[in-house]
């Protein structure tokens, strides 16, 4: 039931803004490389085949689209697509690698230069950007395999071909390095922002001394618990707990000892209630517990366990036994959240007037 800080989405967008600009540069690089190489084939190939070039252009467009999705997933961790496309996906990395090689072989067989090697390697690098050594070796092996395919089809490997393949490997390594320098700092910023938001949330909704929820939080969550209990006709009990003679502890032993007593009582309450229950420091030496879907017998049992647990603790620096008084109220017809809490407070005073160290309300 912890609310999400409102500023988290805005800060995440700001942290990823530089990465979005970098993504645009990558896509421009892929598109420019494809356009230049298609133009080279169209203008310099002696056996220009419009059908082959058109087929290759369609294949290149498909690779660019895959590249867009891949980069978007790699650089925007908040998007659902990252579940299937990420730098850790071995299957997709292998698919991009083999697709690049297969398209290059088909182009060689059709008499077209394997210019799609460059955008293919760029796409591939987005899956393995965090492993530069592996990327360099695998990209080099793919380039070598393409030259072997060219030789197998009886086509000589010229200086232009070597330069094109080398350029593909270099561009892939450069893109991977740029992604690494862009993604990792952004992830660090997001982690830092997340920690800051969590710290701010704790400062707003947790008591700094005991670590329990504070009164502000419990008043918000109580509305939800009460509405749910009324709507689904569930049982809801409120425990109001007060430390007996706490002023005596502060006056005679000092506030430092009093703080330790508060922390010890808070730990005992937290350790005794169920995980579905919610406890908060209500103010001073008072604590409040909301027990959901708890019948009167279970509630009474847990309330007495809390009382017995506190009485059994030997607090350092306190020469007498620390006890608590508990008031319990269950949800009744026509109750409001205020009347329910007020009734538990009244039962707390009943426990006080009857001698303290007891549970009242049943």
Name the token pair of 295. Answer: 């019948």
| Cα 350 from Cα 360, distance rounded (Å) | 7
Name the token pair of 65. Answer: 């689209």
Residues 132 and 177 sit within 8 Å (Cβ to Cβ): yes
Residues 284 and 238 sit within 8 Å (Cβ to Cβ): no
Residues 34 and 229 sit within 8 Å (Cβ to Cβ): no
| Cα 311 from Cα 321, distance rounded (Å) | 6
- Mark whether 285 is an active-site residue: yes
DSSP bridge partners of 327: 240, 360
Helix (H, G, I), strand (E, B) or coil at 360: strand
Cβ neighbour number for residue 37 with a 10 Å cutoff: 22
Q: Which residues contact 264 (CB under 8 A, 6 or more apart)?
A: 310, 313, 315, 322
Three-class HEC string of 49-99: CHHHHHHHHHHHHHHHHHHHHHHHHHHCCCCHHHHCCCCCCHHHHHHHHHH
Question: Cα separations (Å) of 323 from 5, 204, 346, 359?
Answer: 38, 29, 19, 11
Q: Would you mind telling me the total number of residues written for the chain in this entry? A: 362
Active-site residue identified among 6, 196, 285, 333: 285
Name the token pair of 145. Answer: 């395999």
Which positions are annotated as active-site residues? 285
């Amino acid at each position: 039931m912890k609310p999400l800080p409102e500023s988290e989405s805005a800060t995440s967008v700001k942290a990823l803004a530089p990465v979005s600009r970098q993504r645009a540069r990558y896509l421009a690089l892929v598109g420019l490389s494809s356009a230049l190489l298609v133009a080279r084939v169209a203008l310099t190939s002696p056996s220009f085949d419009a059908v082959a070039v058109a087929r290759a252009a369609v294949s290149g467009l498909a690779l660019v689209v895959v590249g867009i999705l891949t980069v978007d997933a790699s650089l925007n961790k908040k998007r659902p697509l990252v579940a299937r496309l990420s730098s850790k996906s071995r299957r997709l990395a292998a698919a991009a690698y083999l697709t690049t090689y297969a398209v290059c072989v088909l182009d060689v067989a059709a008499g077209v230069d394997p210019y799609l090697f460059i955008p293919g390697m760029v796409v591939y690098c987005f899956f393995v950007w965090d492993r530069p050594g592996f990327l360099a070796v695998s990209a080099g092996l793919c380039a070598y395999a393409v030259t072997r395919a060219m030789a197998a089809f009886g086509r000589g490997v010229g200086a232009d071909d070597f330069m094109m393949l080398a350029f593909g490997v270099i561009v892939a390594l450069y893109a991977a390095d740029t992604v690494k320098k862009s993604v990792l700092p952004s992830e660090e910023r997001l982690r830092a922002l997340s920690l800051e938001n969590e710290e701010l949330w704790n400062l707003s909704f947790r008591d700094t001394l005991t670590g329990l929820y504070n009164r502000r939080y419990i008043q918000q969550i109580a509305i939800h618990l009460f509405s749910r209990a009324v709507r689904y006709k569930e049982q809801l009990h409120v425990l109001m707990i007060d430390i007996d003679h706490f002023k005596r502890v502060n006056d005679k032993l000092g506030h430092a000892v009093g703080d330790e007593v508060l922390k010890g009582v808070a730990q005992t309450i937290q350790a005794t209630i169920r995980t579905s229950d919610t406890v908060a420091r209500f103010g001073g030496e008072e604590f409040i517990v909301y027990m959901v879907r708890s019948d009167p017998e279970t509630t009474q049992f847990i309330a007495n366990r809390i009382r017995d647990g506190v009485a059994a603790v030997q607090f350092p620096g306190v020469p007498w036994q620390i006890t608590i008084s508990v008031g319990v109220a269950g949800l009744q017809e026509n109750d409001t959240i205020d009347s329910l809490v007020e009734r538990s407070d009244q039962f707390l005073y009943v426990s006080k007037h009857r001698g303290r160290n007891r549970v009242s309300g049943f």
